[in-house]
Amino acid sequence: MQDPTLMRIGSALSGLLMVLFLVVHLAGLFPALIAPAQFELYATALHHQPWLPILEVSLATTAAVHLIFTAAKTLRNRRAGNTAVLRSRRGRPIEALASRSKVAAGVITLGFLTLHLQQLRWPRPVDGLEREVLMKVLHQPTSLLVYGLGSLAIGLHLLHGAEAAHRNLGFLTPVNGPSIRWGGRLLATVIGGGFLLISLGLALGEIA
C-alpha cells in the first residue's frame, strides 16, 4: 500500500464513520444513568433488529480499514522523517500530546474494545439485564480502570483525529483551522468525557 492519497483519504473517511458510531453509541448509553427502564427497552429493541449483524460487520470492517490505513500512513511518515505536525503544535501542548500518543491511544482503544465486546457482546446479556451486567463489570476495579483508560484514549485519539481528518481530506485551511480545532476539542471532550462519566456513574451505582 504505497499510494499516499489513498492512505490519507481512507484513514480520514473511516475515522469519521467511527466518530459517527461513537456519537450514536454514547447517546444510546446515557439513559443507563438517568432512565434505566428506557435504556433496557432500547437495548432489547436494538439487539433484536434483523439489520444489526450487518451493521456490526460493517463497523468491524470500517475499524479494520481505519487501523490498516492509519498504520500504513504513520509508518510512511516516520520513514520520511516527518515531524512537521509536532513542531506546529508547540503552543498547544495537549494537541501535541495527542499527536505523539496516537499509536498508544489506538492500542489502548483496541484493547478496551476487545474486553468490552468479550464482556457484553460474546455472549450478549439476557433481555432486561444489560445495565445490570454492565454495572457488575464496572464494579470490578480492573475493568473500571480499563474502561477509564479507554475513555481517555478515545478522547485523545479524537483530539488528534478531528484536525488530521480535515487535513487529509483537504478541508483544513488557515481560515477554518481555528474553528475545526475548537470543534475537535469539543468533540473529544464530549465523547471521551461522556464515556468516562457513564463508566464512573455506573461503577458507583448499586446493583438492584
**In the chain, alpha helices (H):** 4-29, 31-34, 36-47, 52-79, 84-87, 93-100, 102-120, 130-138, 141-168, 177-204
**CA proximity to 152, closest of 82, 104, 92:** 104
Q: In this predicted structure, what is the pLDDT of residue 196?
A: 96
Residue 53 or 80, more confident: 53
Segment 174-189 shows an average pLDDT of 90
Q: In this predicted structure, what is the pLDDT of residue 206?
A: 66
pTM assigned to the model: 0.85
Residue 86's alpha-carbon distances to 44, 58, 92, 106, in angstroms, are 45, 33, 10, 18
Sign of CA dihedral 72, 61, 43, 20: positive
Query: Residue 120 above 70 pLDDT?
Result: yes
Convert the pLDDT of each residue in 66-94 to its tens digit.
888 888 877 777 777 655 544 445 467 77
Q: Can you list the domains of the chain with their CATH numbers? A: 4-204 (1.20.1300.10)
Contact 70, 11 (CB under 8 A): yes
| Cβ neighbour number for residue 190 with a 10 Å cutoff | 15
- Flag the least confident range among 20-34, 74-88, 101-115, 120-134: 74-88
Segment 11-25 shows an average pLDDT of 92
Residue 161 or 21, more confident: 21
Which triple of cell numbers denotes residue 151? 475513555
Instruction: Give CA–CA dist 120/81, Å, rounded.
Output: 42
Q: In this predicted structure, what is the pLDDT of residue 81?
A: 63
Instruction: Give CA–CA dist 33/48, Å, rounded.
Output: 22
Segment 83-106 shows an average pLDDT of 67
Q: In this predicted structure, what is the pLDDT of residue 91?
A: 60
Mean pLDDT rounded to a whole number for the chain: 86
Q: In this predicted structure, what is the pLDDT of residue 173?
A: 87
Q: For the chain, how long is the longest CA-to-CA vector?
A: 56
